[in-house]
Amino acid sequence: VARATPPGEFELIEAFTRALPLVGEGVVLGPGDDAALLQPPLGEELVATVDAVEEGVHFDGRFTPGDVGWKSLAVNLSDLAAMGARPLWALVALGVPTGTPPSRLAGVARGLGACARAHRVTVAGGNVTRAPGLALTVTVFGSVPTGTALRRDGARIGDAVLVSGTLGEAALGLEQGAAPRLARRQRRPEPRLALGQALRGIASAAIDVSDGLVQDLGHLCTASRVGASLRIAELPLSPAYLKATAGRPDPWGPALSGGEDYELCVTVPLARVRDALAAAARVGTPLSVIGTVTRLSGVQVARPDGGHHPVARGHDHLAAVRRLTSRRRAVRRQPTR
C-alpha cells in the first residue's frame, strides 16, 4: 500500500491542468490551496451534483480522450439543466492508471476544457490519484434564484409531458458502424442548460434523460406520485434515427429505453404549454409534446392504433451511473404507496 510518488506525476498534472479554465465568476480562491473558496450568488440557492465516468464502464476505445473529458462534465451539467440551474463551478477528481501518457491526460483536459468554456464553467479545484482504470469524478455547482429550481416532484395529473431534441440517438451511437451524428450524440452529449433555465416558472417538474425516457419519466412520476401516458407517434426522432432503425422489429426501442440522450423531459400545466414552446424557441431548442400526466402509476406507451406498446427494460447502455438520489427516493416511497 505504501508508495512513493511515481516519476512523471508532476508532468501528468501539468498536462491535465493546462487546458482548463481556472478563474471565473465567484471564484475567490481557485486551485492552489487546501480547498476552493467560492462566493455563491446572493439570493440564490446552490445546486450541486456528482457523477463519475469509468474506463470500461462508461467509455471504451471508441472514445477519444477528448470525448471522455467532454462527457465527464456534460453528464453533470445535464443534471444542473434538469434543475433549471445556471452552471458555475466544477471540481475534478481524476483517477489515473500507472503508465498513462501525458498526451492522453492532455486530451482529456482539452475535451473537459472545451465543455467548460462552452457552458461558462470554472474548474475551481480537484485532485489526482492512482487508479486501476482512467476515471473522472466531476462535481458541479450551479445556482437558481431561491425557490425556482425545477424538481421531480411537481408533476400534476393533466399536465402535458414534453421532451427536448430527439431521442434514442446516443444508444444507437454505440452500435457497430453507427452514423457520425449518432456516435457524436453518444460521445459528446450537449446538456440542455439554456432550456432548463428558460423553463423555470413554467415547467411543473423536470428530469434529464440519462437512463432512457420511460425509466427517467418513471422516476419523475414516482417522485410526483402520478403516472404518465406517452403517445409513441409523437416521439421526436431524427432522420438518422429513422434510417438506423428502419426494418427493426421494435423501431421505437432506442427512443423509449435507450440511455444517455441527455435531453430534458418536463411536465407543464396545459395552460402553460404555449409558454413552454415559446421559451424553447427563444433559446433555439426543439421541444415536443409527447404525452400526458395520468392518475395511474407507471409509464404507459400508446400506439397510434390505441393499443399499449410493451416497453423493454434493461436497455441500459453505459448507464452504470445510478444516483443514490433517485434510488433512495424510490426506496423510501415504496412502503408508503
Which residues from 153-212 bind a copy of itself, rule CB under 8 A?
153, 174, 206-208
| Residues from 60 through 99 that contact a copy of itself (CB under 8 A) | 60, 79-80, 82-83, 85, 89, 91-95
Mention every residue, 6+ apart, whose C-beta is less than 8 A from residue 77: 87, 115, 119, 121, 140, 191, 193
Query: What residue type is assigned to position 327 of the chain?
Result: R
Among 101, 129, 281, 296, binds a copy of itself (CB under 8 A): 129
The answer to whether residues 123 and 192 touch, using CB atoms and an 8 Å cutoff, is no
Amino acid at 247: G
Residue 323 contacts a copy of itself per CB under 8 A: yes
Question: How many chain residues bind a copy of itself (CB under 8 A)?
Answer: 92
Closest distance of CB 258 from a copy of itself, Å: 10
The helix (run of H) or strand (run of E) holding residue 231 is strand 227-231
Segment near a copy of itself (CB under 8 A); pick from 22-30, 64-72, 229-237, 303-311:
22-30
Answer yes or no: are the C-beta atoms of 212 and 257 closer than 8 Å. Answer: yes
> Among 8, 21, 48, 283, which residue sits at the site for a copy of itself (rule: CB under 8 A)?
48
Closest CA to 333 of 179, 218, 195: 218
Give me the least distance between CB of 137 and a copy of itself, in Å please: 4
Interaction pattern, residues 216-245, with a copy of itself; x per rule: CB under 8 A? -------x----------------------
Is 334 among the residues that bind a copy of itself (CB under 8 A)? no
Stretch that binds a copy of itself, among 64-72, 118-126, 267-275, 291-299 (CB under 8 A): 118-126
User: Which lies closer to a copy of itself via its Cβ, residue 82 or residue 279?
Assistant: 82
Q: How far apart are the C-alpha atoms of 242 and 262, rounded to whole Å? A: 19
Are 16 and 94 within 8 A, CB to CB? Answer: yes
Stretch that binds a copy of itself, among 47-55, 114-122, 158-166, 245-253 (CB under 8 A): 47-55
Q: Please report whether residue 316 would count as binding a copy of itself according to CB under 8 A.
A: yes
Q: How far apart are the first and last CA of the chain?
A: 48
Q: Which residues share a beta bridge with 216?
A: none
Q: Is 2 in the site for a copy of itself (CB under 8 A)?
A: yes
Whole-number Å distance between alpha carbons of 215 and 311: 10
Residue 286: all three cell numbers together:
426543439
Torsion of CA 173, 176, 179, 184, to 10 degrees: 40
Contact with a copy of itself (CB under 8 A): which of 19, 36, 179, 226?
Answer: 36
Asked if 5 interacts with a copy of itself (CB under 8 A), we say: yes
List Cα–Cα distances, 294 to 159, 270, 298, 299, 330, in angstroms: 8, 13, 9, 9, 19
Q: What are phi and psi of 224, to 5 degrees?
A: -95, -5
Q: Does 271 bind a copy of itself (CB under 8 A)?
A: no
When binding is defined by CB under 8 A, the residue of 8, 24, 57, 298 that contacts a copy of itself is: 57
Using CB under 8 A, pick the residue from 128, 273, 283, 302 that binds a copy of itself: 128
